[in-house]
Amino acid sequence: MGEDAGLRQAMETYGDMVYRLALAQTQSSHDADDVFQEVFLRYLRSAPAFREEEHRKAWLLRVTVNCCKKLHGSFWRRHTVALSEAIPAQNQEEQELLSLLEGLPQKYRAVLHLYYYEGYDTGEIAVILGRSPNTVRSQLARGRALLRDAWKGAEEL
């Protein structure tokens, strides 16, 4: 398979997943577009060979997380205020949940997204994020607790 065909297949298969994770991490469709483009440029440049399709998926997720971290740490990002954009939601309740997720620190958003939206277990998330499995489990528990508290607080309003 040629480079163009391999890239096209990867984008068709995993493009939505990469974009969703980038959007969840950056909370901006413009930044998510930039991350998406950077991830697939890196894919094209490095032309990695994978033994299994699951390795390709994990590689793309790891590169997406790294690109988001790089974006968050950039000079430009540190000296600007991001505009909040709504992530498309199916209904009002889901929109409220996504809004509460946006309020969580990035380390919790990443773990919750990979666990609930992408279906990874804690061991796989640990590999993707470069954290220990215990840290991932702890962040999942704390993220859920923060989300639960935020949800209760929102219901009381």
Judgement on whether residues 42 and 67 belong to the same structural domain of the protein: yes
| Termini Cα distance of the chain | 56
In 3-state terms, the chain is what percent helix, strand and coil (to 5)?
Answer: 80, 0, 20
pLDDT band at 156 (very low <50, low <70, confident <90, very high): low
Task: Supply the mean pLDDT for the chain.
Answer: 81
For residue 119, give the nearest of 21, 38, 19 by alpha carbon. 21
DSSP summary character for residue 116: I
Share of the chain above pLDDT 90, in %: 25
Residue type, 40: F
What are the pLDDT digits (tens) for 59-69?
999 999 999 88
pLDDT the model gives residue 87? 45
Q: Does 94 have pLDDT greater than 70?
A: no
Structure token pair of residue 87? 């992530």
Neighbours of 133 (CB within 10 A): 14
Judgement on whether residues 106 and 79 belong to the same structural domain of the protein: no
Q: Which residue has the higher pLDDT, 73 or 52?
A: 52
Q: Which residue has the higher pLDDT, 76 or 126?
A: 126
Q: Does 85 have pLDDT greater than 80?
A: no
Q: Does 40 have pLDDT greater than 90?
A: yes
Structure token pair of residue 26? 């950056």
Give start and end residues of each alpha helix (H) in 53-117.
Answer: 53-73, 75-78, 92-102, 106-112
Last residue of a domain, one of 85, 116, 137: 85
* CATH of residue 47: 1.10.1740
Structural domain of 63: 1-85
The CA distance from 59 to 21, in Å, is 13
Judgement on whether residues 65 and 118 belong to the same structural domain of the protein: no
Judgement on whether residues 33 and 12 belong to the same structural domain of the protein: yes
Residue type, 84: S
Stated pTM of the model = 0.59
Q: Which residue has the higher pLDDT, 81 or 129?
A: 129
